Amino acid sequence: MQIKWGALAGTAGVSFGITVAIVTVFALGTLALSRREAAREAAVAEGGSGGGSVALGTAAVCFAACAAAVGYGLYLIAVR
């Protein structure tokens, strides 16, 4: 039995890179939700309403990207 160490190292490297990317995108989504909440509190304090719609959109895109990556991973496991 031969172990292809190059392929194993390549797989480990790609897995590590994707993991770091997904964690970073999720953290950015959480940061966007936090900033949205701060913007809403500031708008209410000033007597207005709303605020933070761009942050909400950013958070939605970040979380959708995370969900897509998880879904693709499940697809690779189940179908391939």
pLDDT, tens digit, for every residue of 20-53? Answer: 999 999 999 999 999 999 888 888 888 766 677 8
pLDDT at 42: 84
Q: Is residue 53 part of a domain?
A: yes
pLDDT at 69: 96
Average pLDDT of the chain to the nearest whole number:
92
Q: Is residue 74 part of a domain?
A: yes
Give the other-Cβ count within 10 Å of 56's Cβ. 17
> How many domains in the chain?
1
Q: Is residue 70 part of a domain?
A: yes
**Angle, helices 5-45/53-78, rounded to nearest 10 degrees:** 150
Nearest CA among 22, 17, 6 for reference residue 66: 22
pLDDT at 45: 83
pLDDT at 20: 98
Global pTM exceeds 0.85: no
